[in-house]
């Protein structure tokens, strides 16, 4: 690993984004637009206060997962990955480069969505802001890491986008949003226990409730961060200098 190469890679990915205004606009605006839509659909401040944090949790994950899996797939198919694998660039340089670049995008995304939610939409969070931002960013990182990992199993962009519902929907269904996790059938609860999104959603709920952020919150944060790290290491393992 080499910091100069990692940052050169992050800068390169940001430059690619800069040439693609539409993608940037979609990444930054879509979560906010959906949250605004949710506000008017709910038409009830209390329900909105419950649902908005969940969207703030889900969106960074979702968008980063998609953009990273397509981005790395493009590197694989265009030959730029093979070229990079013949240079001093380390696997982690590439993965962290994506992580840093898309992490910056996630910051913008969360900042806008939060600003609009807290001002215009009157979202009421009792605690301080930083736990919420921390969880949203960790989720973005988790999305990036899982996107990298899943892109290794896709040969085409058609396949890559199909991984999104596969990774996303079970995590949402089992994450305790629709049905509390302790009311699920035991098997499903076990599955829910190993899915990182369950912890992210619980941490997000704690962050919004405010008050004392106890050991549970930190346990959840550590689980999400650990999952992101694990996915990153698995992602690195799927990058090969030599290919058949």
Partner 1 sequence: MMNLPSPAISVRDLRVSRGGREVLHGLTFEVPRGQVTGLLGPSGCGKTTLMRSIVGVQVVTGGEVTVLGEPAGSPALRRKIGYSTQNPAVYRDLSVRENLRYFAAVLGAPRGDADRVLEEVGLAGAGDQLGGALSGGQLNRASLAVALLGSPELVVLDEPTVGLDPVLRQELWRLFQSLAGRGVTLVVSSHVMDEAARCQRLIVMRDGEIFADDTPDGLREHTRTTDLEEAFLRLIEERAAA
Name the residues that contact partner 1, by CB under 8 A.
4-5, 8-9, 11-12, 15-16, 19-20, 78-80, 82-89, 241-244
Nearest-approach distance from CB 83 to partner 1, in angstroms: 4
Q: Which is nearer to partner 1, 82 or 189 (CB)?
A: 82
Q: How far is the CB of 18 from partner 1 (least distance, A)?
A: 9
Q: CB of 163: closest distance to partner 1 in angstroms?
A: 22
Nearest C-alpha neighbor of 200 from the set 56, 5, 29 = 56
Give the shortest CB-155-to-partner 1 separation in angstroms.
Answer: 14
Please provide the distance, in angstroms rounded to a whole number, between the alpha carbons at the two ends of the chain: 25
CB nearer partner 1, residue 155 or residue 219: 155
Closest separation between CB of residue 241 and partner 1, Å?
A: 6
- Residues whose CB is less than 8 angstroms from the CB of residue 182 and which lie 6 or more positions away in sequence, other chains included: 189
The smaller minimum CB distance to partner 1, of residues 4 and 178, is found at: 4
Closest to partner 1 by CB, 11 or 219: 11
CA atoms within 13 A on the CB side of 87: 11
Is 60 within 8 Å of 137 (Cβ atoms)? yes
Contact (CB, 8 A) for 65 and 210: no
Instruction: CB nearer to partner 1: give 46 or 241.
Output: 241
The answer to whether the beta carbons of residues 168 and 65 sit under 8 Å apart is: yes
Q: CA-CA distance, 188 to 184, in Å (whole number)?
A: 6
């Amino acid at each position: 690993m080499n910091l100069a190469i990692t940052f050169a890679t992050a800068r390169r990915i940001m430059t690619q984004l800069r040439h693609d205004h539409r993608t940037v606009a979609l990444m930054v605006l879509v979560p906010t637009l959906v949250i605004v839509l949710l506000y008017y659909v709910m038409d009830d401040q209390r329900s909105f206060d419950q649902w908005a944090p969940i969207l703030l949790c889900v969106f960074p994950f979702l968008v980063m997962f998609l953009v990273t899996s397509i981005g790395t797939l493009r590197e694989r198919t265009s030959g730029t990955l093979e070229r990079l694998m013949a240079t001093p660039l380390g696997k982690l340089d590439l993965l962290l480069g994506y992580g840093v670049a898309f992490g910056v995008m996630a910051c913008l995304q969360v900042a806008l969505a939060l600003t609009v939610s807290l001002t215009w939409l009157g979202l009421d969070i009792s605690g301080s802001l930083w736990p919420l931002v921390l969880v949203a960013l960790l989720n973005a990182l988790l999305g990036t890491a899982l996107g990298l990992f899943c892109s290794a199993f896709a040969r085409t962009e058609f396949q890559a986008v199909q991984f999104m519902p596969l990774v996303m929907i079970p995590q949402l269904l089992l994450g305790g949003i629709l049905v509390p996790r302790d009311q699920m059938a035991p098997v499903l609860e076990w599955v829910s226990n190993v899915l990182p999104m369950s912890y992210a959603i619980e941490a997000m709920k704690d962050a919004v409730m405010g008050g004392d952020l106890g050991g549970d919150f930190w346990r959840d944060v550590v689980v999400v961060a650990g999952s992101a790290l694990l996915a990153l290491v698995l992602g690195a393992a799927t990058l090969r200098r030599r290919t058949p």
